[in-house]
Amino acid sequence: MVTLEQFIADRQQEFERATGAFSKILRDIGLGAKLVSFYLRRASLAGFLGELGLTNIQGESVQKLDDMANRLFLNLLSQNPHIAGLASEEEEHIIQANPAGKYVVLLDPLDGSSNIDVGVPVGTIFSIYRRISQVGTPCEEADFLQGGRKQVAAGYILYGTSTLLFYTTGQGVHGFTLEPAAGEFLLTYPSVQMPSESSYYSFNDNQLHEWAPGLQKYVQDLHQRNRTAAKPQSLRYVGSLVADFHRNLLKGGLFMYPGTVKKPEGKLRLLYEGYPMAWLTEQAGGKATDGIRSLLDVEPKKIHQRTPLFLGPASEINRIAHFLTENVIVETA
């Protein structure tokens, strides 16, 4: 059995020549995950469910557990001497931590929070960069706006039937399961590869009439293909990105959250959700775009920027790009 800490320590040379800085950051993220997992399991009995009565920077109602996870991760990580600063989906501005730190961390502390009250899995998403501003000075927004290809690590924690932590440092995707009695994440999914064919599709089609005409045709084509396919693709969508993504990563499937005529930039956030999931997808052999462009190459302009998001096997993602760029006619039976 290999623990998360052992696994990271063995691979530490991937980043920092044996300073241990990176291992300590991932260890703290793992510790935060264990604590959030503990609180989530007790939430309905301990009165942690429901709204806090505030709205966040995104204009969304903050749940009590959103706030708890946000404060917990920020408190924990801001004490880590290797972290110069933090950005959170729940916070308007970047947060200064330790000027001597070499890294900055971005977090979606509790993603899919509309699912908290109904017992559906939620997640935490993280993304780590090496700072570009001078060590010893306060970090700057530019440290967080380097672009997806500059991530040095990214991953998620899924609070589901078990608590899972999946991450990449550019050397594949590796997954760990929390063993609650030992309080350790154990390696259970080494070198994960996304199946090259889609078995599932995950999207909310309540705005389909507002999507680009090419994308509406793609959906028509998807249903059309299902009529004759030996193994038709099934719809699976719970509205919790980490849970929807995780299923598709292991089983093969498309996740998409497109923009609409009224909101071309979509709903999901480029830095907290888009880049980390895009890198994990690529590292698992899949493809990630904003519909047409590689998502990791989309230039970030502000920390709370939104983006359309398409993640999945290359065959399906390429098909979407084809429908979006060519005027494809779908033959209906």
Residue 257 CB, shortest distance to ligand AHM, in Å, is 6
Residue 201 contact partner, candidates ligand AHM, Mg ion, none, CB within 5 to 8 A by sort of partner: none
Cα–Cα distances in angstroms (integers) from residue 43 to residues 38, 119, 222, in the given order: 9, 10, 39
x-or-dash pattern for Mg ion, window 100-129, by CB under 5 A?
A: --------x--x------------------
Residue 83 CB, shortest distance to ligand AHM, in Å, is 22
Answer yes or no whether residue 75 interacts with ligand AHM by CB under 6 A.
no
Give the span between the Cα atoms of 215 and 149, in whole angstroms: 27
Residue 206 CB, shortest distance to ligand AHM, in Å, is 7
Q: According to CB under 6 A, which one of 21, 97, 241, 277 is a site residue for ligand AHM?
A: 241
- The DSSP element (H or E) to which 155 belongs, if any, is strand 151-159
Answer yes or no whether residue 184 interacts with Mg ion by CB under 5 A.
no
Give the span between the Cα atoms of 15 and 263, in whole angstroms: 38
Given the complex with Mg ion, which of 65 and 324 has the nearer CB atom? Answer: 65
Give the span between the Cα atoms of 24 and 156, in whole angstroms: 17
Given the complex with Mg ion, which of 111 and 290 has the nearer CB atom? Answer: 111
Where does residue 220 rank: exposed (0-12), middle (13-18), buried (19+ CB within 10 A)? middle
3-class DSSP assignment, residue 174: strand
Which residue stretch of 9-17, 193-201, 237-245, 292-300 sits at the interface with ligand AHM (rule: CB under 6 A)? 237-245
- The DSSP element (H or E) to which 251 belongs, if any, is helix 241-251
Residue 265: how many other CB atoms lie within 10 Å: 14
Answer yes or no whether residue 113 interacts with ligand AHM by CB under 6 A.
yes
Residue 117 contact partner, candidates Mg ion, ligand AHM, none, CB within 5 to 8 A by sort of partner: none
Q: According to CB under 6 A, which one of 30, 112, 175, 252 is a site residue for ligand AHM?
A: 112
Residue 108 CB, shortest distance to Mg ion, in Å, is 4
Q: 139-154: string of b/e by CB count within 10 Å (b at 16+)?
A: bbeebbbbebeebbbb
Cα–Cα distances in angstroms (integers) from residue 306 to residues 66, 81, 127, 272, in the given order: 19, 30, 16, 9
Residue 169 CB, shortest distance to ligand AHM, in Å, is 24
Given the complex with ligand AHM, which of 246 and 267 has the nearer CB atom? Answer: 267
Give the span between the Cα atoms of 189 and 186, in whole angstroms: 9
Owner of token pair 């302009």: 301
Answer yes or no whether residue 184 interacts with ligand AHM by CB under 6 A.
no
Residue 239 contact partner, candidates Mg ion, ligand AHM, none, CB within 5 to 8 A by sort of partner: ligand AHM
Q: State the residues that interact with ligand AHM by CB under 6 A.
A: 60, 89, 108, 111-113, 204, 239-241, 257, 267
Binding site for Mg ion (CB under 5 A): 108, 111
